[in-house]
């Protein structure tokens, strides 16, 4: 037996490992969980840092008094106005920062101005307006007397830099944003603020054919050598590519924070619980070891992406977009995860408590229906209105046509909070109380919305008559 004090020292050390870990809390969900329950769950897990994409009042109120360190966010769409309207910047800071700084309020540590604003696929839309917006927000923070404590940062996608040879030492910032990037870098250094970057090994694997799969994980795949350093995973290589890019323009010592890192679990052949678990196990172990990367040893500050699956995210980048959660839509962990990064499982991720569900019932295709071609029309409609990104080859729901139609019916029915009218489908839908889930394919039961969030009947009535507006691009996948 250990004496009790040994146990306490061990416990303190473990909590310390988790302490640095942050999570992204996105809100693009049709049925968000009650924010107070979510905040409780974060504290139970010892996760004391969250990054938001806006400053939603309900979320902010739930965070008040929690002691969590909060990064609030300004969406890209606001940058145009903020860049030339200082009064709006003042108003934003007043409504979304100083409003919450009362005693027992929210511990806001930083404001993220924009979200990946220099992403190549935005075609430069925010390149000119970002820095003027940063300056306006900083000035408003300074004027409110909190500019010393609350820092402006910009979460960039890792595509702001590149390496033509794929070697970290050839890293450099993209030419078409160089001027604006230099302005930001000078600003960050002057304010002692970190460079925030989102690094996605999954996207490296997904986007480049021939990318060696093992290099996306942390199991010492065949290493590449670069100027005396050895890289056995793309996370380290990517991070050090940034360090080289910074060094070349005179900012070698800037702090770096990983604003997003994670692995999705559905919607693509590389996305499942097994590979996500493998990725997180490797990542969390690495973070706990404080080994850093070949070029920068030590502790890495990281925000995982993300908390929950979000069924309203755009799937333009791919169907996996709605499956980044370490929790399912209902706050249950998808797979065991040891936040302390120890093999023996010291700090296992716990789910959200007190989640209320609708009744245990599902909507499926009536088994009497023989001619499935009419039912398929209904499937297309259901999937255009609800989330069918788990359906398809190499996904969690790789089903025969009849079950595929049932899955789509149920998604629509649950999305509409089990409204009886949402299980009609020209008389082909039927309600069942026996769970139709099979294997990995879960037919969900919706969570109950809290009173303030119940939707109105109108949008439903409109959509019932809208089966003409299919989103056809979906079905090539099914």
Ligand X SMILES: *[C@@H]1O[C@H](CO)[C@@H](O)[C@H](O)[C@H]1NC(C)=O
Tell the smallest beta-carbon distance from residue 374 to ligand X (Å): 5
The reply on whether position 91 binds ligand X by CB under 6 A is yes
Classify residue 58 by burial, with Cβ atoms within 10 Å: 0-12, 13-18, 19+: middle
Residue 459, classed as helix, strand or coil, is: helix
Tell the smallest beta-carbon distance from residue 61 to ligand X (Å): 12
Task: Tell me whether residue 116 is one of the annotated catalytic residues.
Answer: yes
How many residues contact ligand X, by CB under 6 A? 13
Q: Is the dihedral of CA 263, 445, 53, 148 positive or negative?
A: negative
CA 208/CA 216 separation, integer angstroms: 12
The reply on whether position 122 binds ligand X by CB under 6 A is yes
The reply on whether position 373 binds ligand X by CB under 6 A is yes
Task: Tell me whether residue 359 is one of the annotated catalytic residues.
Answer: no
Q: Is the dihedral of CA 246, 247, 252, 257 positive or negative?
A: positive
Interface residue with ligand X among 92, 231, 244, 279 (CB under 6 A) is 92
State the catalytic residue, choosing from 95, 180, 260, 411. Answer: 260
The reply on whether position 55 binds ligand X by CB under 6 A is yes
State the catalytic residue, choosing from 87, 99, 116, 353. Answer: 116
The reply on whether position 96 binds ligand X by CB under 6 A is yes
Q: Is the dihedral of CA 205, 211, 215, 221 positive or negative?
A: positive
Tell the smallest beta-carbon distance from residue 106 to ligand X (Å): 13
CB closer to ligand X out of 95 and 255: 95
**Structure-block tokens of residue 6:** 């040994």
CB closer to ligand X out of 75 and 269: 75
**Continuous H helices in 97-228:** 130-143, 178-191, 201-207
| Phi-psi category of residue 424: left, alpha or beta, with phi > 0 → left and psi -120 to 50 → alpha | alpha
Segment near ligand X (CB under 6 A); pick from 10-18, 92-100, 226-234, 447-455: 92-100
Q: Give kind and range of the element (H or E) at residue 4.
A: helix 4-19
The reply on whether position 16 binds ligand X by CB under 6 A is no
The reply on whether position 95 binds ligand X by CB under 6 A is yes
CB–CB of 18/344 below 8 Å?
no
Tell the smallest beta-carbon distance from residue 369 to ligand X (Å): 10
Tell the smallest beta-carbon distance from residue 122 to ligand X (Å): 5
CB closer to ligand X out of 123 and 433: 123
From 443, 438, 439, select the one nearest 423 (Cα to Cα).
443
The reply on whether position 421 binds ligand X by CB under 6 A is no
CA 454/CA 432 separation, integer angstroms: 24
The reply on whether position 56 binds ligand X by CB under 6 A is yes
Q: Is the dihedral of CA 209, 215, 218, 220 positive or negative?
A: positive
**Structure-block tokens of residue 28:** 């693009």
**Structure-block tokens of residue 330:** 């209902």
Segment near ligand X (CB under 6 A); pick from 100-108, 122-130, 268-276, 378-386: 122-130
CB closer to ligand X out of 157 and 293: 157
Backbone torsions φ then ψ of 292, nearest 5 degrees: 70, -150
**Structure-block tokens of residue 109:** 């540590």
From 153, 161, 146, select the one nearest 188 (Cα to Cα).
153
The reply on whether position 425 binds ligand X by CB under 6 A is no
CB closer to ligand X out of 253 and 374: 374
Segment near ligand X (CB under 6 A); pick from 34-42, 87-95, 236-244, 279-287: 87-95
Tell the smallest beta-carbon distance from residue 100 to ligand X (Å): 11
Tell the smallest beta-carbon distance from residue 412 to ligand X (Å): 21
CB closer to ligand X out of 60 and 337: 60
In sequence order, what are the residues at sequence separation of 6 or more whose Cβ sits closer than 8 angstroms to the Cβ of residue 335?
273, 276, 277
Residue 26 vs residues 101, 136, 253, 295, 312: alpha-carbon distances, Å: 22, 25, 31, 32, 11
Tell the smallest beta-carbon distance from residue 398 to ligand X (Å): 25
Segment near ligand X (CB under 6 A); pick from 2-10, 11-19, 320-328, 371-379: 371-379
Interface residue with ligand X among 4, 123, 225, 452 (CB under 6 A) is 123
CB closer to ligand X out of 420 and 471: 471
The CA-to-CA distance between both ends of the chain, in Å, stands at: 57
Interface residue with ligand X among 222, 314, 371, 459 (CB under 6 A) is 371
From the CB of residue 13, how many other CB atoms can be counted at a distance below 10 Å?
11
The reply on whether position 136 binds ligand X by CB under 6 A is no
Residues 268-307 that bind ligand X (CB under 6 A): none
Q: Of all residues in this chain, which one has the CB nearest to ligand X in the complex?
A: 54
Tell the smallest beta-carbon distance from residue 18 to ligand X (Å): 28
Instruction: Report, as residue numbers or ranges, the catalytic residues.
Output: 116, 260
Give residues in contact with ligand X (CB under 6 A).
54-56, 91-92, 95-96, 122-123, 125, 371, 373-374
């Amino acid at each position: 037996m250990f004496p009790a004090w040994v146990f306490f020292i061990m416990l303190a050390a473990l909590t310390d490992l988790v302490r640095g870990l942050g999570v992204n809390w996105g809100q693009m969900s049709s049925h968000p969980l009650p924010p107070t329950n979510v905040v409780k769950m974060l504290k139970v897990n010892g996760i004391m840092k969250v990054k938001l994409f806006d400053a939603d009042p309900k979320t902010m109120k739930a965070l008040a008094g929690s002691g969590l360190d909060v990064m609030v966010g300004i969406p890209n769409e606001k940058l145009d106005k903020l860049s030339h309207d200082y009064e709006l910047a003042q108003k934003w800071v007043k409504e979304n920062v100083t409003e919450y700084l009362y005693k027992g309020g929210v511990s806001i540590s930083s404001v993220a101005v924009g979200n990946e604003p220099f992403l190549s696929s935005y075609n430069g839309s925010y390149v000119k307006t970002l820095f003027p917006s940063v300056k306006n927000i900083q000035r408003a923070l300074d004027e409110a007397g909190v500019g010393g404590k609350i820092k402006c940062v910009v979460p960039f996608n890792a595509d702001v830099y590149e390496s033509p040879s794929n070697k970290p030492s050839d890293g450099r910032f993209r030419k078409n944003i160089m001027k604006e990037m230099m302005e930001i870098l000078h600003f960050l250094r002057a304010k002692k603020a970190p460079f925030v970057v989102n690094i996605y090994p999954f996207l490296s694997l997904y986007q480049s054919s021939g990318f060696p799969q093992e290099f996306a994980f942390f199991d010492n795949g065949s290493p590449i050598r670069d100027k005396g350093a050895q890289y056995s995973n793309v996370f380290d290589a990517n991070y050090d590519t940034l360090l080289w890019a910074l060094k070349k323009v005179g900012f070698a010592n800037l702090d770096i924070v990983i604003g997003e890192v994670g692995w999705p679990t559905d919607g693509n052949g590389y996305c499942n619980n097994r590979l996500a678990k493998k990725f997180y196990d490797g990542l969390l172990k690495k973070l706990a070891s404080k080994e850093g990367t070949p070029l920068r040893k030590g502790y890495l500050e990281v925000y995982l992406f993300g908390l929950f699956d979000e069924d309203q995210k755009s799937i333009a980048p791919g169907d996996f977009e709605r499956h980044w959660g370490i929790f399912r839509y209902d706050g249950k962990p998808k797979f065991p995860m040891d936040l302390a990064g120890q093999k023996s499982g010291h700090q296992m991720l716990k789910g959200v408590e007190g989640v209320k569900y609708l009744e245990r019932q599902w909507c499926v295709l009536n088994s009497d229906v023989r001619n499935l071609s009419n039912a398929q029309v209904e499937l297309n409609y259901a999937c255009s209105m609800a989330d069918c990104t788990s359906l398809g080859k190499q996904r969690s729901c790789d089903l025969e046509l009849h079950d595929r139609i049932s899955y789509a019916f149920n998604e629509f029915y649950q999305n509409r909070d089990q409204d009886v009218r949402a299980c009609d489908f020209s008389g082909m839908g039927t309600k069942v109380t026996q769970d139709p889930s099979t294997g990995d394919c879960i037919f969900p039961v919706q969570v109950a919305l809290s009173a303030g969030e119940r939707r109105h009947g109108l949008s439903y009535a409109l959509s019932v008559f809208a089966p003409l507006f299919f989103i056809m691009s979906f079905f090539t996948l099914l």
